A = this chain, B = another copy of it.
Amino acid sequence: MRASQFHIGTLKEAPSDAEIVSHQLMTRAGMIRKLAGGIYNYMPIGLRVIRKVEAIIREEMNRAGALELLMPVVQPAELWMESGRWEQYGPELLRMKDRHGRDFVLQPTSEEVITDIARNEIHSWRQLPKNFYHIQTKFRDERRPRFGVMRGREFTMKDAYSFDRDEAGAQKSYDAMYDAYMRIFTRMGLTFRAVAADTGSIGGTRSHEFQVIADTGEDLIVYNPATQYAANIELAEAPCLVAQRAAPGRALEKTPTPGATKCEAVAQMLGLPLASHVKSLALAVEPEEPGKPVQIWLLLVRADHELNEIKAGKIPGLDRGYRFATDAEIVEHFGCVPGFIGPVGTAKPVKVVADRTVANLHDFVTGANQADHHYVGVNWGRDLPEPDLVADLRNVVDGDPSPDGSGPLAIQRGIEVGHVFFLGTKYSEALKATYLDETGKPALLQMGCYGIGVTRLLGAAIEQHHDGRGIIWPRALAPFEVVVCPVGWGKSEAVREAATKLYEGLKEAGVDAILDDRDERPGVMFADWELIGVPVRVTIGDRGLKEGQIELQGRRDEAAAKIPVGEALAATLARLAQAN
């Protein structure tokens, strides 16, 4: 490609709504242009990266035996009613009516349609296993789209769906996808981690996320640096940090803590370590039958820990859905304003759930259910009954012992770019997707589903690979692998010849190269290509040519290396081979 024939739309300034670096850099590099909130045009340089991402995904999906098909963007509501998601899915599901008033949705994902295909196409166990995928436009009507392609409304996703005879087969399909994902993200040159994850609204029994490691990631990943253990903090098991509950060492005492509604303030006021304080969180569950009272729960975590709302949502009784209690509900049940509540002596009975660590504490501090007062020296059994339930309620923290028993856990941030789900029969049951087994009897298809956020990957790769000058693409994703920058294109025949020869040589060698024949000043060229993030740059100018030299610089290199003109092609290829 010659730059004069291409469209380079680099910008000096990022748009004011670009909060994160990938959004800023993708816009400044001319990769994307906003059309509406969360809806982007992918400009030629951005689309080149998308096509490389798609090609890698496609190759590895095919290698794993998956079959590509294409399901429509516009899907009839009937199938979504059949699965129940027409009701369950919130306003993120964009619904619309056609000219005849029939209901349709813009697909956010395709479980319904693929299960419909499977129930029509798969008749016999002989046809199994099968894995179908497509790379298609998705739409999720996010309430507040932001972060560029990271949380857009219209985006491209690869979604695959496996069908098997039984759980063992489905596990094999799951494992094959897991392995394919490992190859895909490795080939892309990304630092990533596969982590056990919560299944969320897709459902199913187990899942793994593939997280690109980046300080700016929205997800927290818990991992054991010494082993394979890794999980999303939503799921990562937090152990009990106190092996055995000690006997009470001090008497229960009500202490004034004027204005101290936060544990940190109480700890400071009382001169006690934060880890001896217990945080009390009041939750409310709406009644199952109208007219019955709201149920109030009290969840207890150590003051230096944080409640994990996903874990809380899995507790029997809270799994129907919960919310935080209102101030009025707190006053009614605890006889006290928020900030000073606790499990000792509530005004009305509440369900008490203690985190594993809290359950083994002794002599701890809690709110006293009286404004501006806390209890010190609280002990289970003596000052209050044993908790109704002990459960893992908190987020793992750095240094917690690993659930696999070997060493401490670490935490890092990640960006979810892939997710594999073991679905089981959730959708095949709802849509009655069966096959005839070896005995001729109908059996439900066992399913898995497997997503990769194609356009989101661009943002994730940039969050991981950039510096103050711009993007630093891994070679496999770069819009161009090499840029040839002739200095004085318009003036010097020698420069034009040398640059064109190298460019043609690179093309013949199968390198995705661009020749910057715009006749721009070196500063403009360099700034553009560093912003765009091309891995290797070759500069050819009259001064160097007189000395028989060209300049070669990797995007991460501090300075350019001088190379004899005669070795230009070989040296560029060698430098490129070193680029990730």
Point out residues on A near B: beta carbons under 8 Å.
5-7, 9, 33, 35-36, 39-44, 46-47, 50, 65, 67-76, 91-92, 94, 96-99, 102, 104, 106, 113, 116-117, 120-121, 127, 130, 132, 137, 139, 141, 143, 153-154
Contact = CB atoms under 8 A, between A and B. Distances in A.
A9 B119 CA distance: 13
B75 A35 contact: yes
A101 B38 CA distance: 15
A27 to B, nearest CB: 12
A278 to B, nearest CB: 40
B113 A143 contact: no
Contact of A68 (B40, B47, B69, B76): B47
List 7 A-B pairs, minimum CB-CB distance, nearest first. A96-B96, A42-B70, A36-B76, A91-B99, A44-B67, A99-B141, A39-B72
A162 to B, nearest CB: 13
A93 to B, nearest CB: 10
Name, among A65, A69, A139, A153, the residue most crowded by chain B CB atoms within 10 Å (CB to CB).
A69
Nearest to A5: B65
At the interface, is chain A mostly helix, strand, loop or mixed? Answer: mixed
A154 B98 CA distance: 12
Given A99-B143, A137-B137, A76 B43 contact: no
- How many copies of the chain does the oligomer comprise? 2
A148 to B, nearest CB: 14
5 contacts: A5-B65, A39-B76, A41-B69, A74-B139, A91-B99
Given A7-B121, A33-B117, A33-B120, A41 B137 contact: no
Name, among A67, A68, A116, the residue most crowded by chain B CB atoms within 10 Å (CB to CB).
A67
Nearest to A139: B74
A116 B68 CA distance: 34
Contact of A41 (B35, B72, B94, B130): B72
Given A35-B71, A39-B74, 19 more contacts: A6-B67, A7-B130, A7-B132, A35-B75, A36-B74, A39-B76, A41-B113, A42-B69, A43-B69, A44-B67, A44-B68, A44-B132, A46-B70, A73-B154, A74-B106, A74-B153, A92-B99, A98-B141, A99-B141
A454 to B, nearest CB: 11
Nearest to A106: B74
Contacts of A92: 99
A72 B9 contact: no
B99 A96 contact: no
Contact of A35 (B40, B113, B139): B113
A431 to B, nearest CB: 14
B41 A70 contact: yes
Nearest to A70: B42
Contacts of A7: 67, 121, 127, 130, 132
A103 to B, nearest CB: 10
